[in-house]
């Protein structure tokens, strides 16, 4: 979603700068990017505060951005939940009183329907785009060749779909049933990885990629997120690629270049 005082189509300057924010269950990261995606700053990072209702979230984001000293013209944010037209519909990680804890009904209610895009536009006074974090990572890595799946492995499991380079409407496929009565996220999230160890968790990931392929028939899958570092790329299928975690930041520029109505 694009929102803010200047929410319509822009004639951006040639040196347009994008503040790209990547929100995760364990940390928030941000950098200012040049028009070609080059980082004009080092990535700044703050820990995710818990509990994290919307006011606490916005304060932490403000503190994060305060660490960067390069001005910017626009903002993009990758958010680890279901966001449509700037409004939050579902955010598992921030609906917990503590990292990895059970869902808290009060926090879930506080986030449900929250106009995150509008709140960020008011806070930063520039146009803002907010999208699911897997969608943003996918914008950085999708090649535009056929039907492409992006899977991000972090606190939970994120997914994004691209057809001939076009980002498709977001689906929370990490919450679909996978095996043993559990969802992909329950089997592959960070809590599960710690419980079963990296070797068993990696084997589960291979089964998950096969399961997704059996109903998506993807041409290629990109695996990213912080926990992708625990994978051995040599064990993955030929049409799978592990992508760097920096994609969560770098996709922030392409999110604007694609002129998505999300």
Q: Which pLDDT score is estimated for 7?
A: 42
Question: What letter would DSSP give residue 100?
Answer: T
* Mean pLDDT across the chain: 93
| Average pLDDT estimate for 161-182 | 94
pLDDT digits (tens, 9 = 90+) for 117-143: 999 999 999 999 999 999 999 999 999
Mean pLDDT of 228-250: 92
For domain 143-243, the CATH class is alpha beta
Confidence (pLDDT) at 4: 53
CATH code of the domain made up of 2-135+249-257? 3.30.420.40
Domain locations along the chain: 2-135+249-257, 143-243
What would the pLDDT profile of 24-42 be if each residue is shown by its tens digit? 999 999 999 999 999 999 9
Cα 228 to Cα 159: distance, rounded to the nearest angstrom: 14
Q: Predicted confidence band at 9 (pLDDT cuts at 50, 70, 90)?
A: low
State the pLDDT at residue 6. 42
- Tokens 């364990």 belong to which residue? 26
Checking if the pLDDT of 64 tops 90, the result is yes
Q: Which helix (H) or strand (E) holds 161?
A: strand 157-163
Share of the chain above pLDDT 70, in %: 95
Query: Within 10 A of 166 (CB to CB), how many other CB atoms are there?
Result: 11
Which band of pLDDT confidence, cut at 50, 70 and 90, is reported for residue 247? confident
SS3 assignment, position 74: strand
Q: How far is CA 217 from CA 27, 108, 174, 224, 233, in A?
A: 33, 34, 17, 19, 21
Segment (H or E) for 57: helix 54-65
pLDDT at 5 over 60: no
What whole-number distance in Å separates Cα of residue 100 and Cα of residue 213? Answer: 28
User: Rounded to 5 degrees, what are φ and ψ at 105?
Assistant: -55, -35
Res 257: pLDDT: 87
Residue 16 has pLDDT above 50, yes or no: yes
Q: Stretch 177-197: mean pLDDT, rounded?
A: 96
* Same topology between domain 2-135+249-257 and domain 143-243: yes
Q: What average pLDDT does this structure show over 204-215?
A: 98
Is the CA virtual torsion 49, 247, 173, 242 positive or negative? Answer: negative
Give mean pLDDT, residues 2-21: 75
């Amino acid at each position: 979603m694009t929102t803010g005082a200047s929410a319509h189509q822009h004639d951006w300057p040639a040196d347009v700068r994008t503040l790209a924010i990547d929100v995760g269950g364990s940390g928030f990261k941000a950098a200012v990017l040049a028009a070609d995606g080059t980082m004009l700053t080092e990535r700044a990072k703050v820990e995710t505060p818990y509990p994290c209702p919307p006011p606490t979230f916005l304060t932490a984001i403000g503190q994060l951005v305060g660490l960067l000293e390069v001005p910017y013209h626009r903002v993009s944010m990758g958010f680890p939940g279901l966001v449509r037209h700037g409004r939050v519909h579902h955010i598992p990680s921030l609906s917990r009183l503590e990292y990895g804890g059970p869902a808290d009904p009060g926090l879930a209610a506080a986030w449900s329907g929250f106009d995150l895009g509008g709140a960020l536009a008011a806070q930063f006074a520039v146009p803002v785009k907010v999208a699911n974090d897997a969608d943003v990572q996918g914008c950085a890595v999708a090649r535009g060749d056929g039907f492409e799946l992006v899977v991000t492995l972090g606190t939970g499991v994120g997914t994004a779909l691209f057809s001939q380079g076009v980002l498709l409407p977001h689906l929370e496929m990490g919450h679909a049933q996978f095996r043993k009565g559990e969802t992909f996220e329950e089997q592959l999230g960070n809590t599960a990885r710690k419980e079963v160890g990296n070797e068993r968790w990696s084997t589960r990931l291979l089964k998950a990629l096969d399961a997704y392929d059996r109903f998506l028939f993807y041409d290629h899958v990109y695996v990213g997120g912080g926990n992708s570092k625990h994978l051995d790329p040599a064990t993955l299928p030929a049409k799978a690629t592990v992508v760097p975690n920096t994609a969560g930041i770098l996709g922030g520029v392409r999110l604007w270049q694609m002129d998505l109505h999300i």
